[in-house]
Structure 1
């Protein structure tokens, strides 16, 4: 089966809660159960101290900034992101966590502005306000016509992939799972009679076999498969060996793309057997602009991932990575200097995976599969 390339937009963490929620038209209760910051508006003030005034009651499109025009120009066949916040007014605070994210359900048009085809939810913040908060999150997203994967009222629902339509009567299946290594409490795991997320304790061979078994069961001829995984620490470029083995096992078992996230900055990329593996896509939207402590990672720099796959094999033709910068809680084009810095870091850290990243004058980073046998 031939045809045009299938282009996917992938994003890392999209966090529309806390400070971001406070600048939108319908801010929720700003009270936070955090040890050091008790008012979400403080995160807006910290960002303003760094880069200048941020409008209150900003339009729903504000946080996306220049990313929306870039996405419209790219016209991807599907848009997939990790929604790293609960969507609720619940006050049922999850115990034992240092950070809690929630956005007011009335601010969901902000998410909808990016027109996501699937929002993956198996992460370490979707139950920040308890199972009542998860129920409201799922109901709010469904009522807004926003499709999800990775969380549900029971394990069967949490493990059900989002099935997106592609041309030629084919589908894109999006599986979402979280790992305990990203800070997800074990109690958040969905069971046969309890809501929650699809949670794996570790990136083990057994866990990979379970996921690939589900891929084989759901995948039909012509389908493409994305496995979206929330795993690992927030900072650093090293990729643990168990994550590499897990990603390879997913591809060997039928996944076409491994969409990893949790890190606050982009991590190395790999093209394994012709298929793209993103070990950490980094944050796309958050309220971290005024928070110091890890400046060496330049977490103000963000990437849009535009992945073009061969339609009949699911193999990577090329990936375009578009650098952006968070400024006044809004995404804008990264400068030439910042793009060059990001290119150097990602090219160097991805070298161990034999990944070659080029940088064009327009400010786009490009990844192509290795040549040769």
Structure 2
């Protein structure tokens, strides 16, 4: 499946073209055959003589961990934090950096231009230093597939994608056309490949057509209407090619802890298609999470770096999942409270209480999620 050029931050970026041509996972970009980290070897491997043994894929040396945070933007009180991107996310950065990979929802266009979307109450944008802030905090991948990803139109999206190309942080869920928008970012950790998607289930009705990526049309990856089938196909194809698949969804109902009615069915369809983990946000409050068989589903990570917080909207946290060959073997929810726009981890008894409150949401919402894999 086509994808945007591999991002240099990832531990090892893979290329579907090289995999198909050489059954080889390399550490270099396919656009740089002279890269001394493996480009020449990759080309040699693809032209080996019939008598030579093909190179073997990297050995699985153990599981990998991915840390997830919720909705991120830099309006209001967050804007001055970008004066020093190295500290913009505050103390939560250490928990993100502790994982092999970290992923968030970037709920803003990354542009200083563009035209505000029509008939939209809230429009968000941030300069390219927003990506510097994520990079400094240990974030490797950000989904821009959400109801603010094109707040500044196609010009703003073009800037967002260009800024993403120039950043160590890989952006998913948007592209110059549907092939790019529905393509995952692929990374390799400990000899295992992981494909990370972004997609949105939330779009203003009058913007659905304009914002959804199409053939030769820039936009976002969506799971609304017919786009749902395309997303399921993309996940299925990625699962056939890669060891692990993650889908970061923008879904839910603002202010509601429980998932919207069709969300459990959508989650199950994604798991059946091959998703190892399905996580997401949008509601600005926390929602339940837990195991579905050997996969993991989290219905809402809440606000993460956000100007709007008070009471339930200030409850946040970091979800860290351990993945191993297509299964989630462990999960850890580390609760935090947003202070000054950024999440500050709870400690001791307060952390225990916050965790119990979050875990209790499963029963409140009547969801068949469990604490451990089947």
TM-score interval for Structure 1 and Structure 2 normalised by the shorter chain = 0.7 to 0.9
CA 1:318–1:180 in structure 2 vs 1: closer, same or farther (change >3 Å)?
same
Q: How high is the TM-score relative to the length of structure 2?
A: 0.77
Matches within 5 A, 1:244-283: 244-283=264-303
**Partner-residue secondary structure (3-state), 1:299:** helix
Matched-pair contact (CA < 8 Å) for 2:252–2:299: no
User: In the alignment, what sits opposite 1:369?
Assistant: 373
Q: How far apart in 2 are the matches of 1:208 and 1:106?
A: 33
User: In the alignment, what sits opposite 1:306?
Assistant: 320
CA 1:83–1:274 in structure 2 vs 1: closer, same or farther (change >3 Å)?
same
How far off is 1:343 after superposition?
2.5
Q: How far apart in 2 are the matches of 1:328 and 1:3?
A: 40
Matched, 1:68 2:93: yes
CA 1:285–1:96 in structure 2 vs 1: closer, same or farther (change >3 Å)?
same
Matched-pair contact (CA < 8 Å) for 1:120–1:176: yes
User: In the alignment, what sits opposite 1:139?
Assistant: 162
Matched, 1:342 2:361: no
**Partner-residue secondary structure (3-state), 2:62:** coil
Q: How far apart in 1 are the matches of 2:75 and 2:205?
A: 18
Matched, 1:197 2:214: no
* More moved, 148-157 vs 60-69: 60-69
Q: How far apart in 2 are the matches of 1:194 and 1:104?
A: 24
Q: How far apart in 1 are the matches of 2:214 and 2:329?
A: 39
Matched-pair contact (CA < 8 Å) for 2:104–2:143: yes
Q: How far apart in 1 are the matches of 2:248 and 2:81?
A: 29
Pick one of 63, 67, 70 that aligns with 1:12.
70
Report Cα offsets for 1:306-345 as digits up to 9, x if no partner.
1112x23x22222111112222233322255643443333
Matched-pair contact (CA < 8 Å) for 1:179–1:199: yes
CA 1:21–1:236 in structure 2 vs 1: closer, same or farther (change >3 Å)?
same
The RMSD of aligned alpha carbons is: 2.3
How far off is 1:349 after superposition?
1.5
User: In the alignment, what sits opposite 1:329?
Assistant: 341
CA 1:130–1:4 in structure 2 vs 1: closer, same or farther (change >3 Å)?
same
How far off is 1:69 after superposition?
2.1
Matched-pair contact (CA < 8 Å) for 1:124–1:184: no
Matches within 5 A, 1:1-373: 3-25=61-83, 59-72=84-97, 74=98, 76-168=99-191, 170-180=192-202, 185-186=207-208, 187-202=210-225, 208-220=228-240, 223-289=243-309, 295=311, 298-309=312-323, 311-312=324-325, 314-336=326-348, 338-351=350-363, 352-355=366-369, 367-369=371-373
Q: How high is the TM-score relative to the length of structure 1?
A: 0.77
Q: How far apart in 2 are the matches of 1:211 and 1:176?
A: 10
CA 1:161–1:184 in structure 2 vs 1: closer, same or farther (change >3 Å)?
farther
How far off is 1:181 after superposition?
5.9
How far off is 1:118 after superposition?
1.4
Q: How far apart in 1 are the matches of 2:168 and 2:190?
A: 21
Q: How far apart in 1 are the matches of 2:81 and 2:148?
A: 20
Q: How far apart in 1 are the matches of 2:248 and 2:305?
A: 18
CA 1:257–1:184 in structure 2 vs 1: closer, same or farther (change >3 Å)?
farther
Report Cα offsets for 1:21-72 as digits up to 9, x if no partner.
24422xxxxxxxxxxxxxxxxxxxxxxxxxxxxxxxxx22434211122334
* More moved, 171-180 vs 233-242: 233-242
CA 1:279–1:106 in structure 2 vs 1: closer, same or farther (change >3 Å)?
closer
CA 1:107–1:258 in structure 2 vs 1: closer, same or farther (change >3 Å)?
closer
Q: How far apart in 1 are the matches of 2:204 and 2:347?
A: 31
Structure 1: state its 5+ residue gaps. Answer: 26-58, 357-366
Matched-pair contact (CA < 8 Å) for 1:355–1:369: no
How far off is 1:241 after superposition?
3.3
Matched-pair contact (CA < 8 Å) for 2:94–2:137: no
